[in-house]
Structure 1
Amino acid sequence: MAVRLRLLIIFCLVIFSGCLASSNSVASEKPNVLFIAVDDLRPELGCYGATHIKSPNIDRLAASGLLFERAYCQQAVCSPSRTSLMTGLRPDSTKVYDLETHFRKTVPDVVTLTQQFMKHGYHSVGMGKIYHGSLNDDPSWDRYLKVKAKGYQLPETQAAIRAKTKGLNLKKMSRKKRSRLTRGPATEMADVPDHLYRDGAIAEQALKTLQRQKQHQKPFFLAVGFLKPHLPFVAPQKYWDLYDRSEIKLAENPFLPKDAPQWASTNWGELRNYSDIPRKGDLTEEQALKLRHGYYASVSFTDANIGKILDELKRLELDDNTIVILWGDHGWKLGEHAGWCKHTNFELDTRVPLIIRAPQIQASGKTTRALVEFVDIYPTLCELARIPLPDHLEGTSFKPLLENPNRPWKPAAFSQYPRGSMMGYSMKTDRYRYTEWRERKSGKIVGRELYDHQHDSAENKNIANQPDQKTVVGQLSRQLKKNWKGAVVPD
């Protein structure tokens, strides 16, 4: 009897250990997520066909994953864009249209992307700019790491600003005047190591975090947010040296679109708040070239920091089981349409870079022209990680595109932008960008934009009011109204 009992115990232990091993195997198969956000990054990179930009590390990520040629943000400004991506909700649902409103005041119980991963066994770590500025969301993280480097300017620049403002009563000054005195110049180039600027320090923090996560029992969701190429355009000198300013070209369309309604365009955003930018009037050619040079240098600086993280992921042998996604929160104008900012519904501001690599799907070096949106990222990452989708999502998982980049997809992507008492609702279809400007209270349409990308990809002429476009405008208006919450994906 004792022998039989011992055999039964041994048998049970064998079965239990087998189940435990199986469970650990399943857990270990859960893919990690490396989530890289970049501020103000245009889809003007080597992998997008821009031969004048040096972006070798982003290019090699694209060569190992799927590049989306036509991805769009929900609103071309930091907080609304990032909020829509992290919540899976459009701005009209979050009510976040500005840089002050936190979504926890408007949709307090929404489960964010990282919260959903945390609920299903992931360890969530964030650093840098994921949400906008001071609007971080503590419930979204197991750990959120603050980076010590000040980063917008070097200590020497900051010391010069303090000396210049010493003895002045800044509190009594206008916000604009105070900003110009305390921000300093719009560009900075210094022969210093990368880590003395904040993005370089963020990259170093990411490397240390990956090393820690390697030892962690849970799969990780690591979100790394880089601030450049957002203003001011600051980067170590070696990244400025990658470009010859005499070869940099100015915008080909430094004018507003012909016949566009008054709400379509905007001012220069924060640019005039920098000390070396004129308070009024245009930039000189020299100033414009310097800004473009600074933007390009900042892109290459961020590219180098991304490269360090990708290298460490590979060195730690984590790359084979890690989903890597890179996105820019919105576009940016470098003099096009008389602008040096985002804040519009134009293609330049709403179209974004988006690259994803999933270890279980072979899509190396492929591209897709399917129309996708930021609200689609939440459900996509959940599906790739085999995590349930919450009911509130307003986007569509584009996981099928990783398996077949050329398959039929939804016919439109949607963006919006508020302008005082007006809201511009914009729709990008295969051929057109169509925008309706509506009174926010009444919903009355007070202006329209129509750009035919087949003949006017730069959106230089609004043809919405031309008699021969009446039928097209009617069709697009009905489509916008019907599909605003998201166009249907064909089977």
Structure 2
Amino acid sequence: MTRKYSSRLTAAWILVLAAAFTHAADDPIGKPNVIFLMDDQHRWDTLGRVNSIVKTPNLDALAQSGVFYDQAVCQAPMCIPSRNSMMLGLYPNQTGVLRNGRGIPDGQLPSQPLPELFRDAGYQTAGFGKTHWGVTCSTRGFETRYIGECLEKDAVMMIDDAPDAKKRYDSESHTMGAGEENNLGYLGFTSQLPELEHRDGWVTGKCLDFIDSKLDPERPLFLYLSFLKPHAGHNVPAGYEKQYRLDQVEYAKQPPWTEDRSPHAAGVNRRDLYVDYWGKATDEQWRLMTMRYRANCTWIDDMFGRVLRELERKGVLDNALIVYCSDHGEMLGERFYRFNKYCLYESSVRVPLILSGSAIPEELQGKTDHRPAELVDLYPTVLGAAGITIPQQAVGMNLLGKERRPASFSSLHERGNEAAFMWRTADYKLILRMKRRADDNACMYTAADIIGGEFYNLAEDPQEWYDLYPDLAASRNPRETMTRELLKFLKSQRTITRP
């Protein structure tokens, strides 16, 4: 059922979180509980914190009471490599998972996954929802595991636990195509099914049941809750769309082009499918598509809020670190009808990232952190907060410390004979196209491998419509500096030996 939020309720929830920022003096465990919240394909700017039209009161409350990282990026703009990188604490060229294909089998992982490290440190570990390792595998450290899609051995699957509900969901959503992201999936519709018959709704129910009756009072908790939405399809349950006025919805503005200008991502991911449809779509269709995406974000936020309130009721948040992030962004029709991800442009590569809870030092509470942050940083950050030894090969920085990198990094390997590497600051973005190495060993790339690039002045051109790479006079100083930095960074990416 839809929850109607008021400013009073939002303020009350903020106070609840703020109150949790005092460590319980008689805490018998000492180590903070870690609550890891995640969703899929959530744009960095689709939070009420960034865009007041968007309704995400619970995530906004976390940001207001914690730290909001407004320059965060993913390490690869697609699910499987991004999630492997985040959960293993390594860059994609080090994990070897570069695309949405086969992941890493059990026994060949180059580092320990986060849930396994927490389990080995004495935590109760419970995982609900999507991990998307890209391979049939064990639950990788989760003692309790419920998942709607993607097989993990010993996990409880929705199709087995609620087969009739899963079949009804599959029947209603079948017109949206593979991955629910054909044009009808993006246009979406109001679902006629109750929330519990959606995969994310079922996962939320299982998570709430666990919190209510299965918490171990003798151990700290590592709880992972990860949703499939707001990734298309936009088949949001009834009620959430009513929180938006269609006439107030602004959608993607198109550049003054007659053809795509995306050298590093040209021709990838069914371009013709989207261009043909959305190039002819009506104003109402654009508004509906955009509104339903936002309504999906509001639904996700509502479920996060219910789980957080139950955790607070059980006392779990009295001593806790709360993480929220998404695995990558969503283009939503920008840059000449480009949808989903698979590119290194802002709406695809930037992600929302929040750290909150009582483990946040008091001096950081309520702050916005403008450093170049990366999802790979979450691995050492949450381990450090829990007092768990950080594996030596971890490459990220502790986001609760003072370390700083000159720029953020991401990569794309969607064109067979090319690799594209991004080096980004708040003001500029460099994308180098490289002749792809057969072994994908990043530390072996040199200036001799460069076959082209893109360069954007983000401060003046946030939509990335004007590529300055061909105009050396307009970009010489920052471009040359960033090229040297990126090549140096690639050289530093040591190869990780697998078992």
TM-score range, shorter chain: 0.7 to 0.9
Match of 1:284 among 281, 284, 309: 281
Indicate the residue corresponding to 2:314 in structure 1: 316
CA contact (8 A) 2:323 2:356 kept: yes
1:438 lines up with 2:434 in the alignment: yes
CA contact (8 A) 2:271 2:338 kept: no
Deviation at residue 229 of structure 1 after TM alignment: 0.5
1:420 lines up with 2:425 in the alignment: no
Counterpart of 1:347 in structure 2: which amino acid?
E
Sort the Cα spacing of 1:213 and 1:410 in 2 relative to 1 into closer, same or farther, 3 A: farther
Indicate the residue corresponding to 1:30 in structure 2: 31
Deviation at residue 74 of structure 1 after TM alignment: 0.2
Counterpart of 1:348 in structure 2: which amino acid?
S
Counterpart of 2:236 in structure 1: which amino acid?
A
Indicate the residue corresponding to 1:471 in structure 2: 477
Matches within 5 A, 1:340-379: 340-360=339-359, 361-362=361-362, 363-379=364-380
> Could you say what secondary structure the match of 1:96 adopts?
coil
Deviation at residue 318 of structure 1 after TM alignment: 1.3
After superposition, the C-alpha distances for 1:55-83 in whole angstroms (9 at most, x for unaligned) are: 11111111221111011100000000000
> Could you say what secondary structure the match of 1:139 adopts?
coil
2-side partners of 1:130 and 1:223: how far apart? 9
2-side partners of 1:440 and 1:123: how far apart? 43
Deviation at residue 134 of structure 1 after TM alignment: 5.5
Indicate the residue corresponding to 2:221 in structure 1: 220
1-side partners of 2:129 and 2:347: how far apart? 25
Counterpart of 2:324 in structure 1: which amino acid?
L
CA contact (8 A) 1:210 1:313 kept: yes
Sort the Cα spacing of 1:290 and 1:423 in 2 relative to 1 into closer, same or farther, 3 A: same
1-side partners of 2:257 and 2:203: how far apart? 37
Which of the two has higher C-alpha Rg? 1
Deviation at residue 266 of structure 1 after TM alignment: 4.8
CA contact (8 A) 2:429 2:458 kept: yes
Matches within 5 A, 1:76-475: 76-104=77-105, 107-132=108-133, 135=136, 137-147=138-148, 148=158, 158-159=170-171, 185-186=185-186, 187-190=188-191, 192-253=193-254, 260=261, 262-267=263-268, 269=270, 272=273, 282-285=279-282, 286-337=284-335, 338-360=337-359, 361-362=361-362, 363-400=364-401, 409-418=404-413, 419-441=415-437, 443=445, 444-468=449-473, 469-475=475-481
Counterpart of 2:488 in structure 1: which amino acid?
K
Deviation at residue 197 of structure 1 after TM alignment: 1.6
1-side partners of 2:38 and 2:177: how far apart? 31
1-side partners of 2:388 and 2:54: how far apart? 37
State the number of aligned residues. 442
Indicate the residue corresponding to 1:4 in structure 2: none
Counterpart of 1:56 in structure 2: which amino acid?
P
Deviation at residue 154 of structure 1 after TM alignment: 8.0
Deviation at residue 458 of structure 1 after TM alignment: 1.5
CA contact (8 A) 1:261 1:447 kept: no
1:482 lines up with 2:485 in the alignment: no
TM-score normalized with structure 2 length:
0.80
TM-score normalized with structure 1 length:
0.81
Sort the Cα spacing of 1:107 and 1:180 in 2 relative to 1 into closer, same or farther, 3 A: closer
After superposition, the C-alpha distances for 1:360-384 in whole angstroms (9 at most, x for unaligned) are: 3223322111111111110000110
After superposition, the C-alpha distances for 1:226-269 in whole angstroms (9 at most, x for unaligned) are: 11101111111201111122221121235679995532345555
2-side partners of 1:113 and 1:179: how far apart? 27
- My pick for the range that moved more, 366-375 or 194-203, is 194-203
- My pick for the range that moved more, 242-251 or 65-74, is 242-251
Sort the Cα spacing of 1:333 and 1:132 in 2 relative to 1 into closer, same or farther, 3 A: farther
- My pick for the range that moved more, 188-197 or 377-386, is 188-197
After superposition, the C-alpha distances for 1:284-304 in whole angstroms (9 at most, x for unaligned) are: 023322221221111111011
